[in-house]
């Protein structure tokens, strides 16, 4: 990693993620004027454009403090920022209006857990405060004890409440990607069968049948480590 990349990853990106969230949070009129879209195929275009405007301002602020000349391009729907036509970095934009702050995340297989996220918690009531938080992707991955597994690569939900308010100023470190999510989903599946999950799923009956088969034929599964 050269000096420009270090500057981007250790200084510029953390600043603009935090500062963009702050600028968005302080533009309540802009957030409430956005035409929000919920379908995955219809990105939140207004929110993306508003975020790009705030990100541009944040970049101008930090560039004015640096001695280096860095060419910058920003594309949406997420904030895809290209530095000097070479270094691409993404800040993922998320929004939800769910009361618990949760929404489906990305499939976990190839996701960069250290990617920066700006997350808006919005409301249909325009008198409500639209809250904006930021952080690294992994911070939103706080699974419950009753997570459901999917019929594809696991897609754990993101929790808005796990991210940081714009005034948070502590260092947010990178982490190593965890590869034991299968064990976590297996534990959740058993918890759902033995406990009292908040919602019923066909998966619960599937897990019960798997457990019954293993109990009735334990010798067939002795080779599994």
3-state secondary structure of 191: helix
Res 40: pLDDT? 53
User: pLDDT tens for residues 55-83?
Assistant: 999 999 999 998 888 899 999 999 999 99
CA dihedral 74→75→80→85, nearest 10 degrees, is -60
Smallest Cα–Cα separation from 105: which of 131, 70, 142, 71?
142
153-164 burial, b if ≥16 CB within 10 A, otherwise e? ebbbbbbbebbb
User: pLDDT tens for residues 124-161?
Assistant: 787 899 999 999 999 998 777 777 666 556 677 788 98
Cβ neighbors of 149 (< 8 A, separation 6 or more) are: 185, 188, 189, 203
Cα 62 from chain centre: 24
Cβ neighbors of 133 (< 8 A, separation 6 or more) are: 21, 118, 119, 121, 160, 163, 164, 165, 166
Res 95: pLDDT? 92
Q: Quick count: other Cβ atoms within 10 Å of Cβ 18?
A: 22
Higher pLDDT, 216 or 58: 58
What average pLDDT score do residues 90-101 get? 91
Residue 196 pLDDT class (50, 70, 90 cuts): confident
Rounded CA separation 160/142 (Å): 10
Rounded CA separation 218/20 (Å): 56
Q: Lowest mean pLDDT of 49-58, 115-124, 200-209, name the range.
A: 200-209
**Which whole-number Å values give the CA distances from 105 to 61, 71, 75, 117, 140, in the listed order?**
31, 31, 21, 11, 9
Residue 15 pLDDT class (50, 70, 90 cuts): very high
What average pLDDT score do residues 108-115 get? 81
Instruction: For residue 195, give both structure tokens.
Output: 């406990």
Residue spans of alpha helices (H) in 64-117: none
Task: Tell me the average pLDDT of the chain.
Answer: 86
Higher pLDDT, 86 or 104: 86
Q: What percent of the chain has pLDDT over 90?
A: 44
Rounded CA separation 163/54 (Å): 19
Looking at mean pLDDT, say which of 84-98, 106-120, 165-179, 200-214 comes out highest.
84-98
Q: What percent of the chain has pLDDT over 70?
A: 90
Find residue 157's DSSP bridge partners: 104
Checking if the pLDDT of 42 tops 60, the result is no
Rounded CA separation 145/23 (Å): 35
């Amino acid at each position: 990693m050269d000096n420009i990349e270090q500057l981007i990853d250790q200084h510029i990106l953390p600043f603009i993620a935090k500062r963009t969230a702050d600028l968005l949070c302080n533009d309540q009129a802009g957030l409430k004027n956005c035409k929000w879209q919920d379908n995955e195929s219809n990105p939140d275009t207004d929110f993306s454009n508003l975020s790009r405007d705030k990100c541009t301002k944040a970049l101008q602020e930090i560039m004015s403090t640096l001695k280096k000349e860095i060419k910058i391009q920003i594309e949406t729907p997420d904030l895809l920022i290209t530095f000097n036509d070479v270094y691409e970095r993404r800040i993922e934009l998320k929004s939800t209006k769910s009361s618990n702050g949760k929404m489906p995340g990305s499939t976990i297989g190839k996701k960069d857990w250290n990617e920066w996220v700006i997350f808006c918690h919005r409301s249909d009531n325009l008198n409500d405060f639209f809250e904006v938080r930021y952080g690294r992707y992994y911070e939103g991955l706080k699974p419950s004890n009753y997570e459901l597994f999917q019929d594809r690569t696991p897609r754990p939900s993101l929790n808005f409440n796990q991210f940081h308010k714009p005034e948070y100023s502590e260092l947010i470190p990178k982490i190593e990607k965890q590869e034991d999510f299968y064990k976590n989903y297996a534990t959740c599946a058993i918890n759902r069968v033995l406990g009292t999950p908040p919602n019923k799923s066909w998966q619960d009956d599937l897990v019960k049948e798997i457990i019954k088969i293993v109990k009735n034929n334990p010798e067939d599964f002795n080779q599994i480590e």
